[in-house]
Structure 1
Amino acid sequence: MKHTAPPRRRKLNAWGFEGVSFSPPRPLRSWLEERIGPPEPRSAVDPRSLRLPAPARLPDLPVPTSDDPADRLLHARGRGFSDLVRLRTGTLPALPDAVVRPEDATDVQEVLRICSRAGVRVIPWGGGTSVTGGVNTLPSAAPTVVLDLERLSGLVAVDARSGHARVRAGTLGPALEAALAPHRLTLGHFPQSWELSTLGGWVATRSSGQESLGFGRIEDLVAGLELVAPAGRLSLPALPASAAGPDLRQLALGSEGRFGVITEATVRVSPRPARRAVEAFLLPQWEDGVEAVREMVLAGLPLHMLRLSDPTETEVGLATGTGGHAWSPLARGWLRLRGAGPGSCLLLCGAAGTPREIRWTLGETRRLLKRYRAVSLGEGPGRRWLLDRFRHPYLRDGLFDLGWATDTLETAASWSALPGLYRAVRLVLASTLPNEEVAVLCHVSHAYRDGASLYFTFFFRDAEDPEEMIALWAALKRAATSVLPAAAGTLSHHHGIGSWHAPWYAREAGTDGVRLLAAAARELDPQGILNPHVLFDPVDRLEV
């Protein structure tokens, strides 16, 4: 008899799965105490003890519909900073009235038709890992349902000769890779949320994976897709290229559920590599590291990943092991003798393929990095990073328990604008809270021929009052987001706009650009029931 493991249960008020955690290591706690001060431990309320408001009356829907309290609570918010604060403290301003689970595109079409006619708001839900307020239920006179696509999952077909796979949108990352494994294929898309997020969510937010340097971003991987809206349907075939007018696939990519529900995508898959290897290096200073990354990309080295930490992030990584390996004072003394002292930057270089291909790629990488006086740390730190890369988000919940707050923001800019953007964001994060120290870390997470992304992590002490805590975070978020357009950076490199970045979207897309996209949304969703607060809503909702 074949036994299948029971499905893993998601935590109601934290990141990830029940039974999985990542406690802050002692050296990290010591570093934070020294940098931003001692914390006061905080406890989270038991989510199952919360008394939830009764759900509103809904029209009859032709799919499984749940108003179970735990189901409504799990689907009330994404997993951004204020989401977790509100879930931990039981201060949710609103909950969905039900969670509905369609099985196919026809179900989705019928649910949207009924909800549009009845004035019921619909929030599409893949894995619920948004960190930009992209799936949040907000206070409204209209009822709200969450459209969970978990039943709309699985591999439909594989065209190995063309390198195409048809996949339903609710398919989680691990399930997708497992389905491709018998065909010796991979999508190669591994965002940090990979274990919990879905193909449809990746497409809807223009996601980028940790190995996108080798496999491409999600917009490079989507060959065709299907999008279902209240007033229409887009069925876009998988083509290698086309000059048949504007590419409507790009309209669906990044649409965040505002134009319709992505129900299926045909993606470009690759042969599954035999092995992965990540070699770590230390470079003398940040500027050297940035220039080395730029040169490696321009040289066309077949690397799958480049990740460059700034001196502060490197300091934390070497001291605590969060960058892959903890180094003793004796070992760090040896590194200083090799020219990798204070101010050094950790660089992770990833390659995939046959052992011979990996040896050649990393050998060429070492030769190029010699000109920058890089010191190789071998593959040990990289192995540790690969082992922990999907566990890192759990660290935030452990820090919350101790009384420290942390969040991230990401952006991207051209190589010429990158130094100024780096300085501007670091400065504004470090100086916005007048009575609190804020520690700021940064790394280059993705590199391109014309520029790179910057991924910032910041820490501060939390407050006992959840509203005050959210206000502190919102002040930092507003200040940093306002700096991005002025410093020639994008509002988001791979997390999306959601509702939290929406008030600034016109600064990047332009007023006429937003007007054009809003008109497309009205054509597909005349009643405006689909995820109405993402992309175009000018109201600042950071503290809601």
Structure 2
Amino acid sequence: MPERERRWNGWGFAGEGFPVPAATRAWLAERLGEGDPLGATAEGEIPLPPSRPLPALAAPTVIAPAARLRAACGHSLPDLLALRTGTIAAFPDAVCLPESSEQVVEVLKAASAAGVTVIPRGGGTSVVGGVTVRPGARPVVALSLERLRGLVRVDATSRLATFRAGTLGPEVEAALAPHGLRLGHEPQSFELSTVGGWVATRSAGHRSTGVGKIDELVAGVEVATPAGLWRLPAQPASAAGPELRRLVVGSEGRLGVITEATLRARPQPECEDGLAVLMPGWASGVEACRELLQAGVPLEVLRLSDACESSFGTTLVSLSPLAARVSRALFSLRRYSQGCLLLLGWAGGTQEAMLGRQTAARVWRAAGGLALGQSGWRRWRAERFHHPYLRDELLSGGWGVDTLETAAPWATLGTVYSAVREAMNASGVRVVILCHLSHAYRDGASLYFTFLWPLAHGAELAQWGALKSAATEALLSTGGTLSHHHGVGTIHAPYLEREVGRTGVAALSALARELDPKGVLNPGVLLPEGDS
């Protein structure tokens, strides 16, 4: 089957999109007014400088302008603004396409000897500047792992599967299915992102409440460094010193290039089920989520949208006249005037799913929830990987949109939620803030914010910067983590010391210098420039 063409200046695949419904436009116009539409520069109008000289590299290498342009940016809002306006700050001098772990090592050796920056690149979906080329005196090679793909081996007895780093999400599940297994790691970028990218950024998927983040799924890992291959074999547990696999997970290309990962798989479920519930408010919904997790109710998906996100979500779906009347009637009731949509999902054995559903029902009913049936759940399941396409359409319509996420203990989750909203509302930019709780744990949960604002021509990046910095300061000052699953990249790197301390940054920097003495691996990512 031929591979689908990726869009060069937006999310996803060419020919696909998420047109903004008229109801959504009206909802935004009422709250934000109209912004300045953001145009799109044609690919042929973007000038690329000539490639700088590079050493001989032991892998196929491409210097064609189209390849260099497509490897210049990720998918952060600054990246998209640069791509749309044709103001890209820097380009790789070449794109290298190794076909084996050994070739990756040889490329890193040559780059280290010649002082060439190497930016590892999987699916290129980073939203925090993790794969963005930055201006500098050194030549730059984008190290694409797209040819390092596929299942290496399966240990069905131990339920372990080893994949090459460039394997895409759908390829992972397709390879495991004949063995009666699945991974269940389904981030929003599932169709576009890779095993190596998941591991490098400590990603989380929609099912992480049940299957865990990628941290919990990594049993072993292979990393290419300028000194050679570093293999940490799969183990169920170990007390052989500090857990080095955990150092690699989340290293974002600073300690080496992940070339293989051995992952913990699970059996294909006997059944899968889900339900949408309307909760009377955010506080009661959060409390119900906490009770579900701390009671050990078996759930794979838990997602609570606040009142604003729930309202926005209703504009994205086309309801029958009867369903639309019922929806309006529900939200007009005093009890549900600030209604929050809760999605619950189960997958596994039939008895386990039935027990989970029954136990969960006792919790949400006690909190005043109202079952809405399975249609909302099924719609979300069918459309969830298409939601990111909406951002490109909104930019064209004059509205900026971006996301940020954090996590905090249950005791402080409400404080973080309020602080982020208050800080963004005080930023000087007119903004609408949506939020949902997901990726829940017994001791806390993740908060995922989506914020929208009317674009002002020429000030788009400044508007985003004011909102992003206000939110980041607020979440850090109230005990939230800098990132739950997007990673650090270059955008969050200046804040890392606030979370891990000066000693933590020094320890990471020392390890990076040991594994990458010439500092050629993804400089400026994870650790600020000059800290390694």
TM bucket by the smaller chain?
over 0.9
Match of 2:377 among 382, 387, 403: 382
Q: Is the 8 A contact 1:96 1:146 kept in 2?
A: yes
Q: Which residue is 1:234 aligned to?
A: 230
Deviation at 1:11, TM superposition (A): 0.6
Unaligned runs of 5+ in 1: 540-544
Report if aligned partners of 1:232, 1:524 keep a CA contact under 8 Å in 2: no
C-alpha separation in 1, matches of 2:324 and 2:155: 54
Trace 1:420-435 onto structure 2 (pairs within 5 A). 420-433=415-428
Distance, in Å, in 2 between the alignment partners of 1:438 and 1:334 is 28
Q: Which residue of the partner structure matches residue 18 of structure 2? A: 22
Deviation at residue 101 of structure 1 after TM alignment = 0.5
The separation in 2 between residues aligned to 1:140 and 1:187, in whole angstroms, is 40
Q: Kindly provide the CA deviation profile for residues 364-407 of structure 1, in whole angstroms up to 9, marking residues without a partner as x.
A: 21122110110000000000000011001000000011111000
CA distance in 2, matches of 1:439, 1:431: 12
Would you say 1:525 and 2:520 are equivalent positions?
no
- Partner residue, 1:399: 394
What SS class does the counterpart of residue 203 from structure 1 fall into? helix
- Provide the secondary structure at the position in 2 that maps to 1:316: helix
Question: How many Å separate the matches in 2 of 1:185 and 1:450?
Answer: 29
Task: Please state how far the C-alpha of 1:330 moved relative to its aligned partner.
Answer: 2.4
The answer as to whether partners of 1:229 and 1:525 remain within 8 angstroms in 2 is: yes
Task: Kindly indicate whether the alpha-carbon contact (under 8 Å) linking 2:281 and 2:336 is maintained by their aligned counterparts in 1.
Answer: no
Q: After superposition, what is the alpha-carbon deviation per residue over 1:508-536, rounded to whole angstroms, capped at 9, x for unaligned?
A: 01001100010000000000000001111
Q: What stretches of structure 1 move > 4 A for 4+ residues in a row?
A: 324-329, 336-340
The answer to whether structure 1 residue 444 and structure 2 residue 463 are counterparts is no
1:537 paired residue number: 528
Q: Which residue is 1:542 aligned to?
A: none
Note the 1:483-522 alignment, pairs <5 A.
483-522=474-513
1:461 aligns with 2:457: no
1:292-333 Cα deviation digits (max 9, x unpaired): 0000001111110100011111111234339x9998552135
Distance 2:422 2:529 in 1: 26
Give the letter for the 2:409 counterpart: S
After TM superposition, give the deviation of residue 334 of structure 1 in Å: 4.0
C-alpha contact (below 8 Å) 1:318/1:327 kept by paired residues: no
Identify which of 292, 298, 303 aligns with 2:294: 298
SS of equivalent residue, structure 1 residue 416: helix
Q: Give the alignment partner of residue 241 of structure 2, picking from 231, 241, 245.
A: 245
Q: What is the one-letter code of the residue matched to 1:186? A: R
1:87-102 correspondence to structure 2 within 5 Å:
87-102=83-98
What's the secondary structure of 2:291's corresponding residue?
helix
TM alignment of 1:359-378, pairs within 5 A: 359-378=354-373
**Contact 1:499 1:537 (C-alpha < 8 Å) held by counterparts:** yes
Tell me how far apart the structure 1 counterparts of residues 56 and 36 of structure 2 sit (CA, whole Å): 48
In structure 2, stretches of 5+ residues that fail to align are: none
Task: Give the alignment of 1:23-102 within 5 angstroms.
Answer: 23-102=19-98
Does residue 1:481 correspond to 2:472, yes or no? Answer: yes
Q: SS of the counterpart of 1:412?
A: strand
Structure 1 counterpart of 2:131, from 122, 129, 135: 135
Contact residue 331 and residue 339 of structure 2 kept, 8 A: no
Residue 335 of structure 1 corresponds to 330
1:318 aligns with 2:317: no
Paired letter, 1:207: S
Cα distance per residue 1:39-72 (max 9 Å; x no partner): 3333201123322111111111121100111111
In structure 2, what is the Cα distance between the partners aligned to 1:71 and 1:94?
14
Is the 2:165–2:195 Cα contact (8 Å) retained in structure 1? yes
Contact 2:209–2:438 (Cα < 8 Å) also in 1: no
Counterpart amino acid of 1:300?
A: G
- 1:354 Cα deviation from its structure 2 partner: 4.4
Query: Aligned AA for 1:518?
Result: S
| Residues 1:326 and 1:115: Cα distance change in structure 2 (over 3 Å) | farther
Deviation at 1:339, TM superposition (A): 6.3
- Cα pair 1:258 1:521 within 8 Å, conserved: yes
Contact 1:411 1:490 in 2 (8 A): yes
Following the alignment from structure 1 to structure 2, what is the Cα–Cα distance between the partners of residues 538 and 510? 17
**In structure 2, what is the Cα distance between the partners aligned to 1:284 and 1:427?**
22
CA-to-aligned-CA distance 1:216-257 (integer Å, 9 cap, x gap): 110100000011111343211101000110010011010000
Aligned length, in residue pairs = 530
Q: Which residue of 2 aligns with 1:344?
A: 339
Q: CA–CA distance in 2 between the matches of 1:432 and 1:325?
A: 39
Q: CA deviation at 1:448?
A: 0.4
Equivalent-residue separation in structure 2 for 1:326 and 1:202 (angstroms): 42
Which residue in the other structure is 1:120 paired with?
A: 116
Three-state SS of the structure 2 residue aligned to 1:417 is helix
Rounded Cα–Cα distance in structure 2 between residues aligned with 1:373 and 1:296: 14
Return the letter of the residue paired with 1:270. R
Letter in 2 for 1:317: G
What is the TM-score with the length of structure 2 in the denominator?
0.97
Return the offset for 1:538: 6.0
Contact (CA 8 Å) 2:488, 2:526: kept in 1 or not? Answer: yes
CA change 1:447–1:398 in 2 (3 A) is same
The alignment's TM-score, normalised by the length of structure 1, stands at 0.95
**RMSD of aligned residue pairs (Cα, Å):** 1.6
**2:104 alignment counterpart:** 108
Query: Are 2:406 and 1:415 aligned?
Result: no
User: What letter corresponds to residue 74 of structure 1 in structure 2?
Assistant: R
Q: Offset at 1:201? A: 0.3
The change in CA–CA distance for 1:362 and 1:67 in structure 2 (over 3 A counts) is: same
- Taking a change above 3 Å as real, the CA distance of residues 340 and 163 of structure 1, as seen in their structure-2 partners, is farther
Distance 1:82 1:146 in 2: 19
1:452 maps to a residue whose letter is A
* 2:117/2:138 contact within 8 Å kept: yes
Counterpart-to-counterpart distance in 1, 2:455 and 2:125: 22
- Aligned-residue offset at 1:337: 7.8
Deviation per CA, 1:7-38, whole angstroms, max 9, x where unpaired? 11111100111111011111111010000101
